[in-house]
Copies of this chain bind each other. A is one copy, B any other.
Amino acid sequence: MYEDRILRAGLEALIISPKQAAALFKDQMVVASSGFTKSGDSKAVLAALAERAKADPLKITLMTGASLGHDTDGMLTEAKVLSMRLPFQVDPVLRKAINNGEVLYIDQHLGETANLLKANNFPKIDIAILEATLIEADGSIVPTTSIGNSAAFAELADHIIIEINTTIPFSICGLHDIVSLGNYPNRPAIPIIAANSRVGTTSIPLNPDKIIGIVITNTTDSPAEIAPADETTSAIAARLVAFFADEVKKGHLTKSLLPLQAGIGKVANSVLSGFIDGDFEHLTMYSEVLQDSTFDLLDSGKLDFASGSSITVSEPYYEKIFCNLEHYKNKVVLRPQDISNSAAIIRRLGVIAINTALECDIYGNVNSTHVSGTNMMNGIGGSGDFSRNAYLSIFVTQSLAKGGAISSIVPMVSHVDHTEHDVDIIVTEQGLADLRGLAPRQRAKVIIENCAHPDYKADLLDYFERASKRGGQTPHLLEEAFSCYIRLRETGTMRRS
């Protein structure tokens, strides 16, 4: 059995049940798992570990590529397995435990986790769980729908459990491009000079002696749930498409623009869809997550090529892609997340980065993660990898949240994920603020005028004008910089009564 998926002789003997695999973990272990934005994650072993912990408790540090599917983080949280989690999550149960202080959470730039591991920021990884399509004869593994940090985990972990997912067609072989950043002090330059550069191998090198178990699964990825575009997100998309058309007209960019990156979520997805109708051609993507809209753009003929670290799509797209892998394989590549999110490559290629902000302040600082400066929403993800190094760093947000009780444009963000240095363009449904070449006082006027909702404009302008009178490069009145959050907390709305 499984001869076609375990090409390395002798490894069949390591096939175990998820329950047996779960028994291999010990209290206080550092555990790594494949999985990036719900794709290519551990379907069986982590679930069995949560089950085991109900009778036989243990605590682990769990690191992944990014978020997991199948409510795995929630199950692990409920079973009290997690003492520490990194570098990203989106699970509501885990989120609550993080904000309660029950689970320690390290929110990391997704492009940095592998670097930090190699820089001794963590104890050694005891066990890595890696989903694979198959094990090659040389012991290397072909990943599935994501790569994430799997290549780094395979290199660094003491022991490895492989989950072979039999739902993944063999035709996925050849989709991946695996290259390692190498080890200090002799790390090479990675010669990726275009979204479609292929510079590595199609499987993850792995020392088969590390394998302590192989689990067979046949569960597909959790499907992405993408809210459909609405009036607001369509307005944001339209403004951005018009902006790019104007940049082309000015001769700043050609109709092929530069490689696109888009964050997750309905706004970013809606923006990507907006390119289908614009006057663009031979577009490329150098992004982290390839979403439904990526495949729409490919199918439309507007997009020539897409590079990412995962394919995270809704159910109908999943089916379409897997029935046509030979077709898409010439137009898509998956990379390790330290390559998809590499500062070097993002800057070299001149990526146009489009990410979602939770809130922006009048000087262009962005909060992507912390509600009222305190409670974690999801995590910074790759937004910092891209915005810091992009040719153009664009943040999109709706001008209002919670039915108007919250303004997404505030005097001073309650938590800074991206400083004004890393933010070129802010877009809301109200308008677009082009901050390039502007000093902070100029930025404030443009952001308030173009992006704030009319209900909050007068307040913001009043704050800025009074602060400016007191002076400074970035004028603030610290005694009232956060008063809108305090009002929100006390009265349920940022609006003045």
Name A's B-contacting residues (CB within 8 A): 84, 98-101, 104-109, 112, 115-116, 119-123, 181, 184-194, 247, 250, 252, 256, 258-259, 342-345, 347-350, 365, 369-370, 372-376, 380, 384, 388-389, 391-392, 412, 414-417, 419, 421, 424, 436-439, 441-442, 467-468, 470-476, 478-479, 481-482, 485-486, 489
B residues within 8 A CB of A481? Answer: 373, 482
Since A188-B193, A343-B389, A479-B482 are in contact, a sample of 13 more A-B pairs with Cβ atoms closer than 8 Å, ordered by chain A residue number, is A100-B471, A101-B468, A107-B473, A119-B392, A121-B436, A181-B348, A185-B349, A187-B193, A189-B189, A189-B192, A374-B473, A374-B474, A380-B421
A476–B374 touching, CB < 8 Å:
yes
A184–B472 touching, CB < 8 Å:
no
Give the distance to chain B from A368, nearest Cβ to Cβ, in Å: 10
22 A–B contact pairs at CB < 8 A? A100-B471, A104-B439, A107-B421, A115-B391, A119-B391, A122-B437, A184-B350, A185-B259, A186-B193, A187-B350, A188-B193, A189-B189, A343-B344, A344-B347, A365-B416, A370-B474, A372-B478, A373-B412, A374-B471, A374-B475, A374-B478, A380-B421
B residues within 8 A CB of A108? Answer: 421
Please give me the residue from chain B that is nearest to A472 by CB atom: B374
Give the distance to chain B from A370, nearest Cβ to Cβ, in Å: 6
B189–A473 touching, CB < 8 Å:
no
B residues within 8 A CB of A389? Answer: 343
Most buried by B among A343, A384, A417: A343
CA distance A369 to B468 in the complex (A): 18
A376–B109 touching, CB < 8 Å:
no
B residues within 8 A CB of A441? Answer: 101, 104
Contact among B98, B343, B438 with A343 in the assembled complex (CB-CB below 8 Å):
B343
Contact among B369, B437, B473 with A121 in the assembled complex (CB-CB below 8 Å):
B437
Contact among B98, B120, B392, B486 with A479 in the assembled complex (CB-CB below 8 Å):
B486
Give the distance to chain B from A193, nearest Cβ to Cβ, in Å: 6
CA distance A478 to B370 in the complex (A): 13
B residues within 8 A CB of A486? Answer: 478-479
Give the distance to chain B from A229, nearest Cβ to Cβ, in Å: 29
Contact among B105, B191, B438 with A439 in the assembled complex (CB-CB below 8 Å):
B105
Give the distance to chain B from A353, nearest Cβ to Cβ, in Å: 12
B residues within 8 A CB of A372? Answer: 478
B438–A106 touching, CB < 8 Å:
yes
Contact among B190, B350, B415, B471 with A119 in the assembled complex (CB-CB below 8 Å):
B350
B residues within 8 A CB of A347? Answer: 115, 343-344
A373–B474 touching, CB < 8 Å:
yes
B residues within 8 A CB of A343? Answer: 343-344, 347, 388-389
